[in-house]
Structure 1
């Protein structure tokens, strides 16, 4: 089949705005907000009131916190579900802006597989996080900002374990069927510019592969993945064989605060094209 546009370049037809929510850490498990007690007591109520601001600017979808610096995030989610597919898009995140593309996402909870675009200190781009699927963190490397003499961010470099907020470990890469090196990624990433992301998602328990600027970055197989609190059968039954695709504006959670999403930050997405497989 041919590629079809997910975004018409003019408005958000085919997409819906939903607040950032949490839920169980795995199907049937404890709730995130019961385990991570540093969230405000009225987090869920406030998050529902501040679902991020989504607009179309110069032919691109733009996501920001609502209002700027509020600390609350949200999702822009497709109205349609997708099963097996190949998705291509271009993205341009500010620094820091922790975002991602969710696959097989449920419309009524935070559960789904996230392709990470953690464009922030100790982040990873092109790896995976199991939102509500056991919170596995399957990434090939971790990144941080390269700073100039005045302390301004001017590019990306490998994260330093001594100063990391979320240390990379070999165990995270071992969850992957394929992991690019950090040097392979850094050689093609364009700082504060447009970068292409390609995602291939196939299978009932999906096998997902990512490419950044045509360089293969990571590959994970949810049929064979072994991780704490991850049950392939339970996840497959819970998510089903198709789900929504969603773009993310992250909140400023208790772990990283504004180092996760700067008060005036935005992320931009354009040329979203999908081919059903």
Structure 2
């Protein structure tokens, strides 16, 4: 890729959370116009009690469940809002840690276009999900871990489709205009190390392009996207022309439990920079 990273402006100072703020990971309707979750529901009320634990450690924003293993997550939102831009950052997730990066996110954090960083069984990294804006799932592969003889995870591998928790159905890759194969992704991903993401967001209903370690992983045109619950005009009305950038700590659901987010797991982000277009 063109070596133009000097044009990017830092939005994380490397030693504090100045310019960022946490919010709870509240349930939201799957799409604009769908019924909203009941605020009196027990899970909703419990989610209100935590925003996750966000710290700066060794020059990186670090997110954990708070308290560890509680099963409830949160979001860290940029104070600033952004419309058309390119975003650069490095990420280093533990296994398992189901996280993601939302762009054009609402002030709730849980509504926006999510670039997946599902570093867990049946997860995808680099695909695009419609968080609270239709639940579309643009992915081209799912992942699992490789384990050593002591049961410790030592790397990523492609998941056996027959063993998938979330099946890799043909409609998911069909949403993407361009997508790396699972083998291409694995050739670039660095286990237990820092991986650089480059995300381009452009347009009223944005075209989103994701590169990881300088290799294209996915591209989607959300203006032309066809999905039963996605309505481009309704999403534009909900999100507006600009939104927050949000990092996610996921909840643990009854189906996956700690296989979604380990009790002591964390994800880390550093060198966060942006170039507005």
TM-score by length of 1: 0.95
CA deviation after TM superposition for structure 1 residue 108, in Å: 3.3
SS of 1:227's equivalent in the other structure is: coil
- Is residue 2:238 matched to residue 1:238? yes
- Say whether residues 1:15 and 2:27 are aligned partners: no
- Asked if residue 115 in structure 1 is aligned to residue 115 in structure 2, the reply is yes
Alignment of 1:122-137 (within 5 A): 122-137=122-137
Gaps of 5+ in 1: 35-39
| Alpha-carbon distance in 1 for matches of 2:168, 2:212 | 20
Q: CA deviation at 1:31?
A: 3.1
- Paired residues for 1:205-244 under 5 Å: 205-244=205-244
CA deviations on 1:131-156 (whole Å, 9 max, x unpaired) are: 11110111121111112233221110
1:30 aligns with 2:22: no
Distance 2:161 2:144 in 1: 11
Query: How do 1:258-273 residues align onto structure 2 when only pairs under 5 Å count?
Result: 258-273=258-273
CA distance in 1, matches of 2:129, 2:87: 18
Contact 1:22 1:109 survives alignment (8 Å): no
The answer for the alignment partner of 2:274 in structure 1 is: 274
Distance 1:96 1:178 in 2: 27
The equivalent residue for 2:144 is: 144
1:3 to 2:12 alignment: no
Q: Secondary structure of 1:49's match?
A: coil
- Structure 2: state its 5+ residue gaps: 1-5
- Cα distance in 2, alignment partners of residues 246 and 183 from structure 1: 28
Whether the 8 Å contact between 2:23 and 2:109 is mirrored in structure 1 is no
CA distance 1:3–1:109, shift in 2 (3 Å): closer
SS at structure 2 position matched to 1:77: strand
State the number of aligned residues.
272
Write the distance in 2 (CA, Å) between the matches of 1:110 and 1:208. 18
Distance of 2:245 and 2:141 partners within structure 1: 24
Contact 2:23–2:108 (8 Å) recurs in 1: no
CA distance in 1, matches of 2:108, 2:150: 45
Q: Deviations over 1:243-276 (max 9, x none)?
A: 0000001010223111000000000000000000
Tell me the distance in 1 between the aligned counterparts of 2:109 and 2:247.
14
Per-residue deviation at 1:32? 5.5
Kindly indicate whether the alpha-carbon contact (under 8 Å) linking 2:99 and 2:119 is maintained by their aligned counterparts in 1: yes
Q: Any residues of structure 2 matched to 1:78-93 within 5 Å, and which?
A: 78-93=78-93
Partner of 1:71: 71
Give the whole-Å Cα distance in 1 for the aligned partners of 2:180 and 2:55. 33
Q: How does 1:162-173 map to 2 (within 5 A)?
A: 162-173=162-173
TM score, norm. by length of structure 2: 0.95
Deviations 1:185-239 (A, max 9, x none): 0011111111111100000000000011111000011100001111111111211
